[in-house]
Amino acid sequence: MAAQTDGAVTLNYGKFLNVCIDFIFVALAVYLCFKLLRYVGKSAKQKGAQAMEEPESQLEAQQAVAQGGKGGSGTGTGAGAARS
């Protein structure tokens, strides 16, 4: 600092490098925060979509039980069809 007090021209590249490094750290932190938020949002949407699909599959299972558990087209080609 003695050179500055004497009026000499100095290159303060240390301050510049410090500011650049600080900027990179802050930018990286902000980027990672937004990336984390996107990941959490996507996983929440996927869980919501799975939750919406479950009632439909449960409804189909209940309908199948209500129909007597008959599967397929009901054409009567099984072993029980020969007894009619």
In whole angstroms, give the CA distance from residue 39 to residue 61. 33
Q: Does 48 fall in a domain? A: yes
How many domains does one find in the chain?
1
Q: Does 76 fall in a domain? A: no
Residue 70: which residues within 8 A CB-CB, separation 6 or more? Answer: 64
Task: Indicate whether this model's pTM tops 0.85.
Answer: no
Encode pLDDT of 12-31 as tens digits: 889 899 999 999 999 999 99
Containing domain of residue 45, as a range?
10-64
Q: What is the pLDDT of residue 44?
A: 76
Encode pLDDT of 28-79 as tens digits: 999 999 999 998 888 877 777 666 666 666 667 777 788 875 555 555 555 5
Q: Does 72 fall in a domain? A: no
**Measuring CA to CA, how many Å separate 42 from each of 35, 39, 55?**
11, 5, 21
Q: Does 78 fall in a domain? A: no
Contact (Cβ atoms closer than 8 angstroms) between residue 76 and residue 84? yes
Q: Does 44 fall in a domain? A: yes
Q: Does 17 fall in a domain? A: yes
In whole angstroms, give the CA distance from residue 72 to residue 49. 28
Q: Does 4 fall in a domain? A: no
